[in-house]
């Protein structure tokens, strides 16, 4: 089939496109009734544009969403993991703050399409990858989310087990083992998994209310942990005087750059699928201010709390305890243990559902809209999240930050580069909603695939992660699954900058390929 034009409609079809969607005074757009067939194989109730009347999320809703997502156990382990890698608290906070300022920019860029058109991430990706081709970035994003869901669920289940074991005098740890772990740990993991699936089945509006009250509760819990460790350390002085093992010289920068990319990679997932949330926004101001106030500020604050507490643990216990669950389990007070348990549960549930279930639910629905709805997609996510063995992904700080986050960030940065290039540079934020759900529209390209986006993704992805390598510890043991010299040795120097390399290379290449195609006949 002849490929379709990436810019405005041909004159003979201008009236048709104008009638297919309605533009409000503030620039937001909703699709006209009957603009595409109700039985379209590329649509269901979850993927259709949100009507203007249902776009209600305010600045507070978006800020609360980010506060509750940022204040989670993996966010904590990011900061404390940097301390465990040898940074002092100032270096760790600087690295995390810079990373979140950087990742906010693509977050706002891709988030713009949400309030304007009311569409989720996989539908937005149809404009660049094609109606069928959008399944490529959607499934990659879904796979990453499944991995994160598994990690978060394992952390939550481990938290219940560790604190419950403390309450029972260590009896749980003495229980019979299954696959190398006590059976109560597996039970906690399964129960926590089921609780999250039950909550997501209540829908997005319930999620909004849950995030609104979870955010302040988790902040309070983090401050309680800080005060507790400060008392144990006889004041805040010991929390601030732990020296850097790296300095600011030659030992620091080889750790800083891959750590920075890892920190960016942490939220590079949301920089793709943030339209899944902003599509419910009351306007651009709500999503811009809500995200700007919610993400970099709260992540930096939480980083400060995490590194101070981790530094305090080093002063009190002689080692940097980067896992807050392990640290909280050292409390000798039943009330303290229960409070820590509830805080861990609320923090983990709030981020896991919002960041790691909503997205793949939409992404999997995009794969087969008539067979998979939002709830079915959530259940599939939960099953895959168990099958990827999440306890392996978070086994060490090196594996967690350099391998998992580094590779994920590189691939997702590549997709983000293509989305931003298409939406802002090629189309100048102009989309035709009906064609995103049709097989004969401008986003059909060749049999539903835009090979230019696929080529840009493939090349950008190889540049971003092709040089992925594993480090070697002091005992000569390899830390990670990759060769020490890198998968593709001559690309190893790029591996520490994977997210930036992937985003920039894919963006430039996609723009060049689209500019070279000329104005072709619109097959509509």
- CATH number, domain of 108, equals 1.10.4160.10
Say what the pLDDT of residue 521 is: 35
Residue 408 within any structural domain of the chain: no
Would residue 116 count as lying in a domain?
A: yes
User: How many CB atoms are closer than 10 A to CB 198?
Assistant: 9
Q: How many CB atoms lie within 10 A of CB 479?
A: 17
The pLDDT, as a whole number, for residue 225 is: 79
Helix (H) or strand (E) holding 121: helix 121-129
Sign of the C-alpha dihedral computed for residues 298, 299, 303 and 306 taken in this order? positive
Instruction: Supply the pLDDT for residue 242.
Output: 64
pLDDT of residue 422: 96
Q: How far apart are CA 305 and CA 317, in angstroms?
A: 18
- Residue where the block lists tokens 């297919």: 20
Alpha-carbon torsion angle 70, 354, 380, 109, nearest 10: -90
In a domain, 39, yes or no: yes
First-to-final CA distance of the chain: 11
Q: 249's torsion region: left (phi>0), alpha (psi -120 to 50) or beta?
A: beta
pLDDT in tens, 497-513: 888 899 999 999 999 99
d(CA 517, CA 147): 37
The pLDDT assigned to 286 comes to 93
Integer Cα distance of 228 and 222 in angstroms: 10
Structural domain count of the chain: 1
In a domain, residue 285? The reply is: yes
The boundaries of the domain holding residue 242 are: 21-402+415-516
Positions of the chain with pLDDT lower than 50, given as ranges: 1-15, 519-524
Q: Which two tokens stand for residue 104?
A: 């906010």
| Tokens matching residue 505 | 């290379």
Are 196 and 189 contacting, i.e. CB atoms less than 8 angstroms apart? no
Q: Is residue 127 part of a domain?
A: yes
Asked whether residue 9 is domain-assigned, the answer is: no
Domain assignment of residue 4, yes or no: no
| H or E segment to which residue 31 belongs | strand 29-31
Backbone torsions φ then ψ of 62, nearest 5 degrees: -70, -40
E strands present in 128-238 = 177-178, 181-182
Residues 6+ apart with CB under 8 A from 204: 280, 358
Neighbours of 415 (CB within 10 A): 30
The Cα–Cα gap between 351 and 71 comes to 8
What pLDDT score was predicted for residue 428? 93
Q: What sign results for the dihedral spanned by CA atoms 326, 328, 331, 336?
A: negative
Handedness of CA 70, 110, 49, 47 (dihedral sign): negative
Q: How many CB atoms within 10 Å of residue 228?
A: 20
* Residue 523 counted as domain residue: no
């Amino acid at each position: 089939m002849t490929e379709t034009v990436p810019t405005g409609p041909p004159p003979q079809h201008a009236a048709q496109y104008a009638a297919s969607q309605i533009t409000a005074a503030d620039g937001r757009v909703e699709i006209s009734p009957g603009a595409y067939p109700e039985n379209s194989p590329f649509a269901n109730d979850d993927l259709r544009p949100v009507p203007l009347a249902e776009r209600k999320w305010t600045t507070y809703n978006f800020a609360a969403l980010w506060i509750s997502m940022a204040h989670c156990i993996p966010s904590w382990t990011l900061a404390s993991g940097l301390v465990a890698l040898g940074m002092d608290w100032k270096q760790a906070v600087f690295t995390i703050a810079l990373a979140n300022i950087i990742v906010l920019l693509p977050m706002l860029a891709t988030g713009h399409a949400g309030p304007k058109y009311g569409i989720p991430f996989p539908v937005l990706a149809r404009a660049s990858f094609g109606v069928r081709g959008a399944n490529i970035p959607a499934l990659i994003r879904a796979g990453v989310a499944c991995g994160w869901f598994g990690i978060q669920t394992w952390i939550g289940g481990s938290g219940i087990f560790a604190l419950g074991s403390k309450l029972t005098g260590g009896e749980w740890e003495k229980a019979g083992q299954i696959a190398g772990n006590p059976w109560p740990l597996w039970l906690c993991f399964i129960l926590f998994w089921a609780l999250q699936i039950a909550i997501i089945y209540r829908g997005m509006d319930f999620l909004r209310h849950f995030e609104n009250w979870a955010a302040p509760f988790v902040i309070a819990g983090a401050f309680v942990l800080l005060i507790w460790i400060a008392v144990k350390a006889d004041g805040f002085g010991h929390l601030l005087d732990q020296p850097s093992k790296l300095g600011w010289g030659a030992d620091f920068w080889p750790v800083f750059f891959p750590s920075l990319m890892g920190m960016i990679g942490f939220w590079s997932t949301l920089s793709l699928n943030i339209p899944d949330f902003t599509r419910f926004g009351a306007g651009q101001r709500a999503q811009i201010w809500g995200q700007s106030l919610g993400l970099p500020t709260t992540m930096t604050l939480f980083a400060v709390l995490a590194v101070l507490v981790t530094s305090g643990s080093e002063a009190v216990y002689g080692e940097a305890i980067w896992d807050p669950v392990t640290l909280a389990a050292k409390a000798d007070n039943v009330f303290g243990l229960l409070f820590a348990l509830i805080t861990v549960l609320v923090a983990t549930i709030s981020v896991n559902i919002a960041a790691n279930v909503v997205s793949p639910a939409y992404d999997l629905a995009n794969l087969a809209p008539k067979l998979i709805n939002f709830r079915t997609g959530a259940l599939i996510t939960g099953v895959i999240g168990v099958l990827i063995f999440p306890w392996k992904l978070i086994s060490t700080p090196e594996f967690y930050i350099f391998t998992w986050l580094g590779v994920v960030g590189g691939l997702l940065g590549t997709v983000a580069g293509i989305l931003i290039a298409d939406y802002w540079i090629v189309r100048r934020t102009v989309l035709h909603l009906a064609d995103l759900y049709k097989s004969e529209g401008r986003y059909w390209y060749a049999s539903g695939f835009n090979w230019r986006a696929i080529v840009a993704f493939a090349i950008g992805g190889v540049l971003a992660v092709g040089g992925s390598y594993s480090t070697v510890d002091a005992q000569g043991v390899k830390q990670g699954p990759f060769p020490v010299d890198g998968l593709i040795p001559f690309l190893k120097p790029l591996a520490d900058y994977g997210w930036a390399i992937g985003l920039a290379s894919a963006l430039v290449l996609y723009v060049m390929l689209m500019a070279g195609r000329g104005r072709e006949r619109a097959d509509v």
